[in-house]
Amino acid sequence: MYKKFLNLTKNLTVSLEKGLNFLTMQENNPLYFHGALPLYTFWFLIFSGIMLWMYYIPTLDRAWTSVNYITSLPVFMKDAAGNLLLKNGNPVVAAISPATGIPYGAVVRGIHRWGAAAMMITTVLHMLRVYFTDRHRAWRWLPWVSGVLLLIFVLFVGITGYLLVWDARAYYLVVASQRWLEAVPLIGQSLSTFFIGGDAIRDFTLTRFFFFHIGGATFIFWLIWMHFIRLHEPVVTPSRAVNFLTLGFILVAAGAFPAVNVTKELIQQFPVLIGDQGYIASDAPAQIGFLVEKIRYDAWYLFPYYLIEKVGVNWAWIILGLATILLFVAPFYPKDRRDNIAEVIDAKCTGCTFCSLDCPFEAITMQERAPGSKFKLIAVVQDARCSECGICVGACPFQAIELPNTHSKTIDGDVLALLKTGA
């Protein structure tokens, strides 16, 4: 039943990809680079994040202001017809527009913001694609499990990014997170204290969130290493066309909808800003003790908080906990019969390393033979990692490694038998 479901999803996925091949050509189909795309978008986040880091001040009274400083662009006054208002030949700058700011800071923050959305979207697509094509089970358990951890950490780093701007929404999220953590039996209060760095929200709280954000992003690199450790030559970059396409999407999104701090209240005060508001990334500055009733939810990172609002903290724990457990156990069920694992024929193995170099899942290691042996090395198959694909068999010029149920001699015999029967 479950296998039939996986077959169905595989059929649908391949049909979708085949359809997209007509548009993009096979070599540039982004769905064939689903694993490389999250990593590619991650680089945008690293570089734009470093640029934002240069000006960000993680204290309660300066965080919002520093983000505002980064993202403020001069906003020019316009008349009713949409023409720029001029004074002595110069455009009139709106009253709320600060005189200083970082050039293109809103675009850099836009890259960070839209890059984060792109990373989550491509990560989820990657996961779905791997699952739907049944490429997550058995010998692939480590990439899958590390992938689930990556998903959790991408979510965590994304959420902490929302806290750093320290606006009304960030404060709401901190309070909701504390409620959520406090619902954990026995250690809930300690978790909550650890989360905000003490018994109350202070400057240390933002320092801690900053650490969570940067430290979490650094830990993602370690998880990526775990993700790749059993893959020979993992695809780490999409094709050039897909690279440029992704770059274009993020830059166009960041340029068209730069992340700025123009609040709804300010727009009400200065209606002229409506045409220049860009993407409203932040609300009014946070005020401790003043909790807004509703926040704007981001579909990619803030869904746990939406869940908390809708079903309460306990049910949110149960739903998200169950989903996480299901994701972690997915590669272990159903179990297939594994009776065709590659076997090395010791007497024929010359230690040439071809099989080890070509194995796509790092299942073959080369080990030293006993002193005095004719050859120095011998290939050793690690059964749990073997996919039974036979690529090592194709790589071996000495017929020294075989799949027991698909032996080369049997294939040679089949070839000769087919030729004997003729057309």
Partner 1 sequence: MSEMTEKKPRVIVGFICERSIPIHEMIDAQKALTDDPETKIIILPCSGMVKPTQMELALANGADATFVCGCAINDCHYRTGNIMIRERLEGTRNPKLRKNTDKRKVGMFFFTMKDKRPFLDALALFKASTENL
List interacting residues with partner 1 (CB under 8 A).
10-11, 14-15, 17-18, 26-27, 29, 32-33, 133, 135, 231-233, 235, 340, 354, 358, 360-361, 387-391, 393-397, 403, 406, 408, 411-412, 414-416, 418-419, 421-423
| N residues, the chain | 423
Reply yes or no: is the peptide bond before residue 334 cis, omega within 30 of 0: yes
Residue closer to partner 1 by CB (options 216, 351) is: 351
DSSP for 108-134, written as a single string? HHHHHHHHHHHHHHHHHHHHHHHHHTT
Task: For the CB of residue 238, give the shortest distance to partner 1 in the complex, in Å.
Answer: 10
Q: Decide: residue 397, CB within 10 A, 0-12 exposed, 13-18 middle, 19+ buried.
A: exposed
What letter would DSSP give residue 332?
Answer: G
Residue closer to partner 1 by CB (options 17, 276) is: 17
What letter would DSSP give residue 26?
Answer: G
User: 101's torsion region: left (phi>0), alpha (psi -120 to 50) or beta?
Assistant: left
CA distance 258 to 389: 48
Three-state DSSP state, 405: coil
Task: For the CB of residue 226, give the shortest distance to partner 1 in the complex, in Å.
Answer: 17
E strands of 243-368, at which residues? 259-260, 279-280, 343-344, 364-368
Task: For the CB of residue 101, give the shortest distance to partner 1 in the complex, in Å.
Answer: 44
Residue closer to partner 1 by CB (options 377, 395) is: 395
Residue closer to partner 1 by CB (options 60, 235) is: 235
Residue closer to partner 1 by CB (options 377, 391) is: 391
Residue closer to partner 1 by CB (options 125, 175) is: 125
Task: For the CB of residue 390, give the shortest distance to partner 1 in the complex, in Å.
Answer: 3
Residue closer to partner 1 by CB (options 369, 407) is: 407
Q: Decide: residue 55, CB within 10 A, 0-12 exposed, 13-18 middle, 19+ buried.
A: middle
Task: For the CB of residue 361, give the shortest distance to partner 1 in the complex, in Å.
Answer: 8
Task: For the CB of residue 415, give the shortest distance to partner 1 in the complex, in Å.
Answer: 5
Task: For the CB of residue 15, give the shortest distance to partner 1 in the complex, in Å.
Answer: 6
CA distance 182 to 189: 5
Task: For the CB of residue 43, give the shortest distance to partner 1 in the complex, in Å.
Answer: 21
Residue closer to partner 1 by CB (options 154, 396) is: 396
Angle at 310 (CA atoms; ends 305, 313), nearest 5 degrees: 60
Kindly tell me the sign of the dihedral angle through the C-alpha atoms of 272, 274, 276, 280: positive
